[in-house]
Amino acid sequence: MIWNKAISHTGLFQNIISDRDPKFTSASWTTLQILFGTKLSFSTAYRPQTDGLAEGMIQTLEDMIRRFFAYVLEFKYSDGFTHDWFTLILALELAYKTSIHSSTGKTPAMIEKGWNSRLPYETLKKDLVDIHPPASRFKLMLDKARHHENRCIQDSFKYAKEIWEKSHEPP
């Protein structure tokens, strides 16, 4: 997954900041770090010496995932089918990358690529949706998900900001 989602898009990292997840502390991962010359740094929650940006990002992602999947468990199609976790995490990634961040005033997609990604709900042919019932349900699902994702992202940024302000004194 690291190859598919990170290295193939950005190349090798010079430094990776992570929590102490067993995946990152395993002997095989440590060996890869040595082979590729990558430094692995571990974060510690609420500690000033830890890179505050990384810790804030980790908290934001944890909060987004928690809120997003709490909502997803409520959403089922009429036949009872729900999406699988792997498919939905990609939708959450897209929601994050296309949300404007208060610290930069831009989306991560704009900062990373120089343009904003086109989203399905922005390009959906609204006059054709009503003709086909499954398309109408799909549009409704997209609208609900977009609204919920935006709310979750804003709530998680607010929460991360509150945590940051509680644990850091102004200069």
One DSSP character per residue, 101-113 reads: PTTTSS-HHHHHH
Question: At residue 148, what are phi and psi to the nearest 5 degrees?
Answer: -65, -45
pLDDT for the residue 119:
73
% of the chain exceeding 90 in pLDDT: 0
pLDDT for the residue 4:
66
158 and 63 in contact (C-beta within 8 Å)?
no
User: What is the average pLDDT across 53-75?
Assistant: 72
Copy the structure tokens of residue 151. 């709310």
pLDDT for the residue 103:
78
Question: At residue 10, what are phi and psi to the nearest 5 degrees?
Answer: -120, -10
pLDDT for the residue 64:
80
Task: Enumerate the domain spans of the chain.
Answer: 1-42, 51-167
pLDDT for the residue 45:
66
pLDDT for the residue 122:
66
pLDDT per position as a tens digit, 99-132:
888 778 888 888 888 888 777 666 665 655 556 6
CA–CA separation, 147 vs 42, rounded Å? Answer: 34
- In 37-107, where does DSSP find H-type helix? 52-74, 85-97
pLDDT at residue 14 above 80? Answer: yes
pTM beyond cutoff 0.75: no
> Cα torsion for 3, 153, 118, 106, to the nearest 10°?
-90
The least confident of 31-45, 52-66, 130-144, 152-166 is: 130-144
Identify the bridge partners of residue 41 per DSSP, sorted by sequence position. Answer: 17
User: Nearest-5° angle of CA 107, CA 121, CA 99?
Assistant: 15
Closest CA to 167 of 44, 16, 20: 44
Chain position carrying tokens 């740094």: 41
